[in-house]
Amino acid sequence: MMNTKIYKHFLHLFLLLLLTLFWIGCGKDNGTGPVVDTNPTGTMTFTLNGGGFTNKAITLKTAIARYDVEEQMTAIFAAGVLETDSIVCGLVFPGNRTGTFVWSTPENGFGIVLSQQNVYLPLSGTTTVSSYGPVGSTVSGSFSGKIIRMGTYDTVTVSNGQFSARHIQ
């Protein structure tokens, strides 16, 4: 059973990921304006092991990056289809710069929503941002760690994570 402190940590990050989805469409104007792209070309790839996954390689071909000025955080979102299920992934890290970020605070980490029912939140891991270009270019890097499925508390290992997302705002 997950203790209350860890549960609150995951709940906070999940809510943060959901709010970031809303920021993409209705964020406050920061003066640069979003880049309108009806066909984002960014990608996110990773492999899942554990909790029912066995070397499950996932490639999502729609990935965007958005920096929120007020929260001072960047969110990378990727979406697609995994077999017959919809999948949305969020990768959040503080600031708008390159560097390595540990998934140890509610402000950064990796999460997955699978079929709107299965929610996976970060347990431990790192995100390394290798390039952070201006709006209109790309934000890219790598990530790996462990996520946990809410409800069942199954632990899943995330490996070989790579992202290259279109920087829209």
* 30, 110, 153, 151: CA torsion to nearest 10: 30
pLDDT by residue, tens only, the chain of 169 residues: 444 444 444 444 444 444 444 443 434 444 444 444 445 579 999 999 999 899 999 999 889 999 999 988 999 999 988 888 889 999 999 999 999 999 876 567 888 888 767 898 899 999 999 999 999 899 999 999 999 998 899 999 999 999 999 999 7
Terminal CA-CA length for the chain: 39
The pLDDT of residue 9 is 40
The pLDDT of residue 118 is 87
The pLDDT of residue 40 is 56
The pLDDT of residue 105 is 64
Q: Where are the domains of the chain?
A: 4-24+40-167
Q: Is the overall model pTM greater than 0.85, yes or no? A: no
Non-local (6+) Cβ contacts of 77 within 8 A are 20, 21, 24, 63, 64, 66, 88, 89, 90, 91, 165
